[in-house]
Chain A
């Protein structure tokens, strides 16, 4: 599967008009054909397509993602340097949106078609329709420009000399807005899935049975309905992880967070093919890992999943 991703990204970049050498020469103000030729030779760009593909795959097997032309550094180093910021942003946004979304989804789904459900559903519909970058801008207008509560951009105060807890707090205030922007939108999604799932579970026989046993409403909601409705939500979490990674590209560019997404944008600007390919590859690996984790979590949450596989 990863191999297909590799070949696809390779083909995509192959179809580009002009390579990294062109972009590099442009940025240093031009050069003659011999310079271009020697540069191409140095980066192995003069060989046939298949030869380069094989070369690329074999170097990948040795965890060598290539050399970034724009940054003049190894791609893997750049990615490892930027990845923690994105993981922090994504992780906290996911946790926040999942927690809030499922909690509010339980509130909305506890009494389908009630007034509270209507209000929450409407709010979530509107939030879900908002483009994340625009929400980010509006949040930064309100909280950073008008109220001046939070910083507009960056991941921490530059050269503040803070360490330990003070530094963590500094990063937290910088991340509050981007995490908020990303989390609000995904919260709306999780809320909708949770509510829809609960509405479906309400109609099932075992809920009727629980009711006829005379269980209290809150017990039915939490133990019977919500627990079953949580399963599609967990599936959703895995499916959305790729989208969230994509969404963080835009959010990072708005709040100037030196993360994975900004790196992608910089790679695009510098026509840095190895870097862009490395980014797409690492993000694919990341998505696979997240889904693997979710599968394991799923089996723990739903005993039926593991049991079925044991039978088969």
Chain B
């Protein structure tokens, strides 16, 4: 709880937390805020925004409600972003922990794989992965995680290396703890905080990657996403640019929220350190 209080003291943290909390609520209550399938045809096509109170943000080429799309799109963006970040950090932690703790040939081999993933543009990798396996939400999550786990892996390994020779680890070894237990119980909790600080950046990048993928038509076609809404609006960019602009604003606000929260977190952690 103390950490959350520290976080709320920084203005960045408070604003970011506010934005994300609102978005979470919107995502959670999307079926209540706008009942029914957001992809159904609700009114006449290409209604301009701010005219009809039934469709505050207008409708698209097929007469689908733009506001409903944005509300339901929040779900996709947050779910994919957070799930991809969790997956990336989980993979990164496992690989980094193994590499740092095992050392030797295992470390060498794993780090070369990390290098390989870092030199391949992650967006190209995700593009290839989704197009090869076929687009669905789990595949998109995995594709994004595949391009994002290398950084946390590297960071975890560096952390583990700095803790491996500490006295308390040696003590654990002396009392006969199993190496896996040492890695899991003694090293991981200490190595975790900086990796978690990285997580917000990964969430933001994952949201942007998901949007770019679905913008290129590689998202799940059965659910509404902001990226696919922007792509759909692009067809009528000249006559009704608002169709692309509103989902874009939603994206920007979300990502700003994540960044602010991460800055607040960093400041709160730094503050704790300087107090100690």
Our verdict on whether A and B bind, yes or no, reads: yes
Closest CB in chain A relative to B218 CB, distance in Å: 8
User: Which B-chain residue is minimally distant from A283 (CB atoms)?
Assistant: B121
Residues 269-298 of chain A: 1 if any B CB is under 8 Å from the residue's CB, otherwise 0?
A: 001000010011001100110010000000
**Distance in angstroms between the alpha carbons of A288 and B113 in the assembled complex:** 15
Please classify the interface of chain B as helix (H, G, I), strand (E, B), loop, or mixed, using the class held by over half of its residues: helix
For chain B, the count of residues having a C-beta within 8 Å of the partner chain is 42
B244 in contact with A247 (CB, 8 Å): no
Cβ–Cβ contact A265 & B216, under 8 A: yes
Q: Which residues of A contact B216 (CB under 8 A)?
A: 249-250, 253, 265
Instruction: Evaluate contact between B259 and A128: CB separation under 8 angstroms.
Output: yes
Q: When A5-B119, A137-B230, A250-B215 are in contact, do A280 and B251 touch as well, CB less than 8 Å?
A: no
Contact of A268 among B117, B127, B215 (CB under 8 A): B127
Pairwise interchain contact B127-A138, C-beta atoms closer than 8 A: no
Check if B122 sits within 8 Å of A5, measured CB to CB.
no
As a 0/1 sequence over residues 110 to 148 of chain B, the CB contacts with chain A under 8 angstroms (1 = contact) are 001101111111111101110111100000000000000
Do residues A287 and B119 form an inter-chain contact, with CB atoms below 8 A? yes
Cβ contact within 8 Å between A268 and B251:
no
**What B residues does A13 contact at CB under 8 A?**
128, 132
Q: Contacts A129-B252, A138-B248 given: A249-B241 contact, CB under 8 Å?
A: no
Smallest Cβ distance from B75 to chain A, in angstroms?
A: 18
- Closest residue of A by beta carbon distance from B247: A134
Q: Is A242 part of the binding interface, using a Cβ–Cβ cutoff of 8 Å? A: yes
In the complex, what residues of A have CB within 8 A of residue B131's CB? 268, 271, 276
B19 to chain A, nearest CB (A): 11
In the complex, the answer to whether B120 meets A134 with C-beta atoms within 8 Å is: no
The yes or no answer to B212 lying at the interface (CB within 8 A) is yes
Q: Are A242 and B120 also in contact (CB < 8 A) when A1-B115, A131-B251, A280-B125 are? A: yes
Report Cα–Cα, A140/B132, bound state, in Å.
31
| The one of B112, B134, B208, B259 that contacts A4, using a Cβ cutoff of 8 Å | B112
Task: Give me 11 other A-B pairs in contact (C-beta within 8 A), A5-B119, A134-B252, A268-B218 excluded.
Answer: A4-B112, A126-B256, A131-B212, A131-B215, A132-B212, A133-B211, A134-B230, A137-B237, A145-B238, A145-B241, A268-B127
